Structure 1
Amino acid sequence: MVAHVGDFGLARFVHQDQTNPSDISSGWATRRGTTGYAPPEYGLGNGVSIYGDMYSFGVLLLEIFTGKRPTDSDFVQDLNLHRYVQIALQDQQVTSVVDQQLLPVQDPELEGRTSSSSSTREIIVACVTSILQIGLLCSKELPKDRLLIGDALRELQRIKDNYNQLHLLST
């Protein structure tokens, strides 16, 4: 749970000796973004856009809450981090993909009893599920299908507010 600086937005470098604008544009680096975080459209030669940043943000959310990198060796062929989380949400198996460090330890002896720890766990699982859904919406394959940052921010704020209210009620 250590924060690192990400590479949101794309910076490109040109050779300093180029002065002609047409030379400068042809001197841009062709690689765009970081493997696993760069949206599919960048590989197709599409221009940089806010939709690409949203894709990267979505992947980052999925990575933070699953503890898996998009370049993890588990992801082969058609399976990627987005699809991995999507399958878990469809099968209602969120706890199987969530980074276990985010969840309170579940005591098997208290199973079935009402306790504040199981209530807290349920609240956390519900919130993480909502955050994973936002990650999926932000990292959709087609740029126009992705959530915009303002909408993602509102949803994340709503989840935070709900968590705070539910957590207060359960304690």
Structure 2
Amino acid sequence: MGLEVSMQGDMYSYGVLLLEMFTGKGPTNNMFTGNVNLHSYVQMCLPEQVMQIVDPQIILEMEEEPSRSMQSSTTNISKLEACLVPVFRIGLSCSAEMPSERMSVKDVLKELHKIRNVFLGVRGQRHQDGRRNDS
């Protein structure tokens, strides 16, 4: 937007990428007209309608997962829904219009690790340096 190149610019791109990957819709999708764009679309739908905006392919893969794991399809979908809301929130934060409002790389990584651990059912794993990973 005419400003100096910065890490916050990289975070913007990362945020848009997250929103694209998890909705299956690009910023130039024909459904985005007027004041509605990918960012505002996701923002309007969170958290109540998260399953309506997620890429249907992700849901299909989760429904097929019980045959490979010992969990039911319903359990997998519930876990997915619980993890999608914070992932979308990260995407929204990173793609905020003002660079000062965007999450830092460090905070994004910390949040993504938490989400991964919830999704995998992992708690309190230790880092190689001995710190606990449940913060």
TM superposition score normalised by structure 1: 0.63
Q: Deviations over 1:26-47 (max 9, x none)?
A: xxxxxxxxxxxxxxxx2xx211
2:45 alignment counterpart: 88
Q: Return 5+ residue gaps in structure 2 as ranges.
A: 65-70, 123-135
What letter is aligned with 2:46?
Answer: L
The alignment-based identity, stated in percent, is 44
1:150 alignment partner, one of 90, 106, 129: 106
CA contact (8 A) 2:93 2:103 kept: yes
Matched position secondary structure for 2:121: helix
Q: In 1, Cα distance between the equivalents of 2:58 and 2:85?
A: 12
TM superposition score normalised by structure 2: 0.79
2:96 alignment counterpart: 140
Q: Return 5+ residue gaps in structure 1 as ranges.
A: 1-41, 107-114, 167-171
Q: Deviations over 1:74-129 (max 9, x none)?
A: 11111110100000105x101111001111349xxxxxxxx821111010111112
| 1:51-66 alignment, distance < 5 Å | 51-66=8-23
| TM-align CA RMSD | 1.7
Larger helix proportion of the pair: 2
Higher relative contact order (CA 8 A, sep 6+): 2
Q: Tell me the number of residue pairs that the alignment of Structure 1 and Structure 2 aligns.
A: 114
1:71 alignment counterpart: 28
1:164 alignment counterpart: 120
What letter is aligned with 2:41?
Answer: Y
Structure 1 outlier segments of 4+, above 3 Å:
none
Matched position secondary structure for 1:73: coil
